[in-house]
Structure 1
Amino acid sequence: MGPLLTVLLPATLAVVMLGLGLALTTADFTRVFTAPRAVLVSLTCQLAVLPLLCFAMVELAGVEPVFAVGMMILVASPGGTLANLFSHLARGDVALNVTLTAINSVVAVVTLPVVVGLSARHFLGDGANVGLQLDKLVQVFAVVLVPVAVGMWCNRAHPRFAARMRGPVKKTSVVVLVVMLVGTVAQNRETIFTNMGTIGGVALALTALSFTVGYWAPRLAGVNRAQSIASAMEIGVHNAVLAMTVASSVFGNINMVVPAAVYGTLMFVPAGLAAIHFARGSARAPEPSVR
């Protein structure tokens, strides 16, 4: 693998997570106590329901094993900065998005290795244990959690500086994210185009299903509309850069990166359509954001 994945990809992830940390406070973690139902339903969907649905989809679609593992890595990855952005556009409860992203990023330290390990053994066989490098996985989460911690410390110790930096870092995060996705797609265009019918179809179906489950599960549980929109965006917009970093760093397999790259490229269309749909619905029937 070239420097695009070995150097620039982890650097991109670090910038994205630093931007998240600059916007976080301890209140974002304790907000779970003020909106327990919304957080609990969303986390259950993200950590349990969605991986099971993705597993069933790749099995039924007959996705090639290495790509199936890549899809499972993607679905086990938490939401990211883009989830917060799309939630804002959709008139969701962005504060809840920030809380869910913060909690998911920490919980993923435990849940993602479990999903990755089980998926690799199922789809690739017992020999996959050799490819699952736990020390590399620890390094990946160091790239995730250390920048978040630095950003939170900066936000607490130097709030004015953090406030000035949020905008530039967020814009930089979006730019480097798009550049990384485009670069990865360009670098692996033959593999991607050859398998676009299967991988692209599964990625789009998974995204649509994620938005549907992410919205209606909370609604049926009595969660208000704004929080349900936040849940839908958090569950529907995964951190593709994290998934790509895990696939490339932990397994060293370029093919496992492909599903996340395809998803990260295609996701903007259904996410944008979902945001427009939710925003129009909120405009027609505004609902007070009560917890």
Structure 2
Amino acid sequence: MDSALTTVALPVALGIIMFGLGLSLTLEDFRRVRHHPRAVVVALGCQIVLLPAVCFGIVELLNLSPLLAIGLLLLAASPGGTSANLFSHLFRGDVALNVTLTAINSIISIATLPLITNWAINHYGREDTVSLQFSKVLEVFAIVLVPVLLGMLVRARKPAIAARSDRGVRIGSAVILAVLVVGILLDQRDNAATYFADVGLATALFCAISLLVGYFVPKAFGVVEKQAIASSMEIGVHNGTLAIYVAVEVLNSTEISVPAAVYSIIMFVFAGLWGSLLSRRASVTTSTS
């Protein structure tokens, strides 16, 4: 991929997206865990433990090539994206819970993302060609966490500016992700059809299962509807930009970034359809009760 995109545009893009997340955060979002401990613990358990296991099962079942398998597991290890908040808002989920989950999981993933990714690299015998060194992980999360802290500082000191900027940053984040996806597919255009054939079904299955697990597992634990919707969107809408950045800039492999790029296209479609289905179901339940 073009060096200007990877060395300049990609870090800037990730920084803008994480700054946007910071604009929506306050310290209370971290303290909110004590008010809804069950919803938070169940959702984080699904995202940190269950989803990587499901992803590995899909990878093995469909016999993905090693680099694509590593890329999908890297995506599974990535925290929820800021777009999850938007989907949750559109489909009447508990947006405050989304913000809390994103904030906490972004911190936890500092440890879990390199653990899962390095395990995948070793499992598929690619440690001689790609590696996720801890020093590089710290650099990545400095790019992630510093903009978040700056956004939180702006929110705390200048709440009016944060409120005015929030919508623009959210739209900009979606545009940035779209540009990154297009850039990756153009860079890999000679192999794009093959990659879609190889990883399209895997990413579609993973996205669908993520959305379903994120909704039905919390419901099974007695989590209320709005929180189950929020959990579904948080677990189903991953931070594709972070996965792409790690693949391209840290692992130096555009091929590893392909699953995240393909997933980013599929997840917007699936999350929209699933959210619409949940909304219609809620409307029918309300009208018959």
**TM-score normalised according to structure 1 size:** 0.94
Q: What is the aligned partner in structure 2 of residue 77 from structure 1?
A: 78
SS in 2 for 1:146: helix
Q: What is the aligned partner in structure 2 of residue 119 from structure 1?
A: 120
Deviation (angstroms), 1:170? 1.6
Which segment is superposed worse, 161-170 or 17-26? Answer: 161-170
Q: What is the aligned partner in structure 1 of residue 283 from structure 2?
A: 283
RMSD: 1.5
Q: What is the aligned partner in structure 1 of residue 13 from structure 2?
A: 12
Tell me, which stretches of 5 or more residues in structure 2 are unaligned?
none
Mapped to 1, the partners of 2:60 and 2:15 lie a distance apart of 33
Contact kept? 1:79, 1:104, Cα under 8 Å: yes
Deviation (angstroms), 1:134? 2.6
SS in 1 for 2:124: helix
Q: What is the aligned partner in structure 1 of residue 222 from structure 2?
A: 222
The residue type equivalent to 2:98 in the other structure is N
Q: Deviations over 1:46-91 (max 9, x none)?
A: 0000000101110111000011000000011011111111111221
Mapped to 2, the partners of 1:121 and 1:202 lie a distance apart of 21
Mapping of residues 43-62 of structure 1, within 5 Å: 43-62=44-63
Mapped to 2, the partners of 1:230 and 1:191 lie a distance apart of 36
Deviation (angstroms), 1:125? 4.6
Tell me, which stretches of 5 or more residues in structure 1 are unaligned?
none
Deviation (angstroms), 1:286? 4.7
Q: What is the aligned partner in structure 1 of residue 198 from structure 2?
A: 198
**Equivalences, count:** 286
Mapped to 2, the partners of 1:225 and 1:286 lie a distance apart of 12
Mapped to 1, the partners of 2:238 and 2:127 lie a distance apart of 28
Deviation (angstroms), 1:283? 2.0
| 1:160 aligns to 2:160 (yes or no) | yes
Mapping of residues 1-291 of structure 1, within 5 Å: 1-2=1-2, 3-127=4-128, 131-286=131-286
Deviation (angstroms), 1:126? 4.5
Mapped to 2, the partners of 1:92 and 1:284 lie a distance apart of 17
Mapped to 2, the partners of 1:12 and 1:63 lie a distance apart of 29
Mapped to 1, the partners of 2:16 and 2:286 lie a distance apart of 35
Contact kept? 1:136, 1:249, Cα under 8 Å: no
Identity %: 47
Mapped to 2, the partners of 1:103 and 1:258 lie a distance apart of 26
The residue type equivalent to 1:153 in the other structure is L
Structure 1 runs, 4 residues or longer, greater than 6 Å off:
none
Deviation (angstroms), 1:6? 2.8
Deviation (angstroms), 1:25? 0.4
Contact kept? 1:32, 1:39, Cα under 8 Å: yes
Mapped to 1, the partners of 2:97 and 2:76 lie a distance apart of 20
